[in-house]
Chain A
Amino acid sequence: MDKTAIEQSIFREDERAIFALRSLYRRYGYTRYALGKFEEYELYVRNKNFLVSDSVITFTDADGKLMALKPDVTLSIIKNTDVTEGVKKLYYNETVYRPSKSSGMYREIMQTGLECMGEIDSYLIYEVILLAAKSLESISEKFSLVISHLGIVSAIMEEAGAVGDVSSELLRCIGEKNAHEIEEICKREGLDGNKLKRLASLYGSPDKVEREVRELSRGGRAEDYAETLISVVRAVEDAGYKGKIQIDFSVTGDTRYYNAFVLKGYIDKIPSAVLSGGQYDPLMRKMKKNGSAIGFAVYLDLLEELERTSSSHDCSESIILYDGESDFDVLRKAAKECREKEPARVVKCHDAKVCRPDGGKYRRVIRVVGREVIKDDGNA
């Protein structure tokens, strides 16, 4: 059995992804950052809007300090990393604890990702976005990396005259691609919503949308951002990802934390984004750290969906049925021969000739009846 076959049959999708991503990030000079499971609760209170959910599991430590099981990794990395000079390239593979949106119950979620912090420039931003594309590619060939630039969105909202609560409302609508509600809000507030509606609906490859992005950004603060966005996205496309990268301003983020590039990664057959990240310079400033930062996380728990939709995973194993009358040596030989080809489960039943294998799908069903070996096609 070759090494690939072992990988296919033994590892789950998330386990395979962990190894692939670890090796990928190391190749690009990222070093592993290992964290403890706990963090002071205060860190999350101060930055609760940065978190996916503001529910956190807390406990009182032996010294009376209120602690939390980590709901997020980025905040801890920023807090504990010295970025006074140069660039810090770090990757992690950690468990976080968050409530499920549907049930509200806490779940243990395996997350991997990377952070690039300090004196970052266009090249490093390009490299992080390229790594996001490579991360998705290592999970599945059918992926889509969607990129937006909050600088453009903010500048166009500002140009339309949106401030305060109205701009939050409009940002939510852009995130929902909800052009009809943008029109209603702008009508109510007396704003020009034309560009915002176009911004919300815009979606596609750089070839398809470049002209419109430039047109929407013309003449304002957004013009430079549009230039940066297009050049970085084009560069990632040129690295072998044509057709995989889309520009879409519905990818948004809290502008108190994110300010420029924001990204989401999707894999076909997984209903929500498996990768999420962006440039979070305002968060760095809020946490009194120098420089800029960009990073992303890959939500490995979502990869379970791939296993559900994959049929190959179900039928890699065979089952060997035997009963009290089966010959010991024949059974032993049959099991050995079978395991040389594929994993096999040996199960005792009341009558090996007629028993049906219960549960699971098997590549082959092998019956040891007395000294006879009967091979069926299996039920996969």
Chain B
Amino acid sequence: MEMLNVALPKGRLGNKVYSMFASAGFECPEIEENNRKLIFENREKGVRYFWVKPSDVAIYVERGAADIGACGKDILLEYEPDVYELLDLGVGKCRIAVAAKKDFSYDPQRTLRVATKFVSVAKSYFASKGRDIDIIHLNGSIELAPILSLSDVIVDIVETGATLRENDLEVKEEIVPISARLIANKSSFRFKNEAIERVVDSLSRLTSIT
């Protein structure tokens, strides 16, 4: 049987997604063992899993190293990989939002300084609003930028808003709600169609129940 290669994002979201795959009948017991393996497979079920950095899932899938994968919508919006987006898995729900210090007010006469790791999303959002912005590309600790006056606002993922509140920041505008999506390589979709459709059908039954 030809194996279906599945890229899962490391971390909490990946664990949730793997649980969904397992509940849908694509379990892989060795993934739950505490070991240092990088690739886990269940030959009987025809699946091979590997954990990758969440932002790399789309690259693995687009380039065919993985046939399918689970990836946040934020990554898909930012990098626009040439993949199929087959299912909203309904987990990892949060939103990309514009946040700033509570007392911040937008001055249309000044260029808005925006700190973010989602450069493309931020650019197209502010362009659609006709606002002139200066993008500051950061890779982490985005919330620090307005506190230290590096930026006026940030564009970042907001889940509960607790980190923002603790740092005297708040959501000013919501850009887009996001959640984990099941993506597929366009070529694998042709040559491993039956296996991919089986996964999609099983997972969609699961997502429609929850």
Contacts and interface: CB of A to CB of B under 8 A. Distances in A.
Contact of B186 (A180, A181, A266, A267): A266
B193 A272 contact: no
A175 to B, nearest CB: 9
Interface string A265-285: 011111111000000000000
B191 A266 contact: yes
A271 B190 CA distance: 10
A375 B84 CA distance: 51
A203 B186 contact: no
A305 to B, nearest CB: 8
A178 interface: yes
B185 interface: yes
Interface in B172-197: 185-191, 193
Contacts of B189: 203
B88 A271 contact: no
B85 A176 contact: yes
Contacts of A101: 82
A345 to B, nearest CB: 32
Contact of A271 (B64, B84, B193): B64
In this complex, the member of B64, B185, B190, B191 whose beta carbon has the largest number of chain A beta carbons within 10 angstroms is: B190
A271 B191 contact: no
Interface of A: 101-102, 142, 144, 146, 176-178, 180-181, 203, 246, 250, 266-273
Given A271-B63, A272-B186, A142 B191 contact: yes
Interface of B: 59, 62-64, 82-88, 185-191, 193
Contacts of A267: 187
A178 B186 contact: no
Contacts of B82: 101, 272
A142 B191 CA distance: 8
Contact of A177 (B62, B86, B185, B191): B86
A271 B67 CA distance: 9
Contacts of B63: 271
Contacts of A246: 190
A293 B197 CA distance: 35
A271 B85 contact: no
Given A246-B190, A268-B187, A273-B186, 5 more contacts: A142-B191, A250-B84, A270-B187, A271-B63, A273-B187
Given A203-B193, A271-B62, A177 B84 contact: yes
A146 B83 CA distance: 15
Nearest to B184: A177
A194 B183 CA distance: 22
Nearest to B80: A101
Nearest to A173: B85
Nearest to A264: B186
Contacts of B193: 203
A178 B83 CA distance: 10
Given A271-B62, A271-B63, A177 B190 contact: no
A201 B86 CA distance: 9
A101 B83 CA distance: 14
Contacts of A144: 190-191
B187 A272 contact: yes
B179 to A, nearest CB: 10
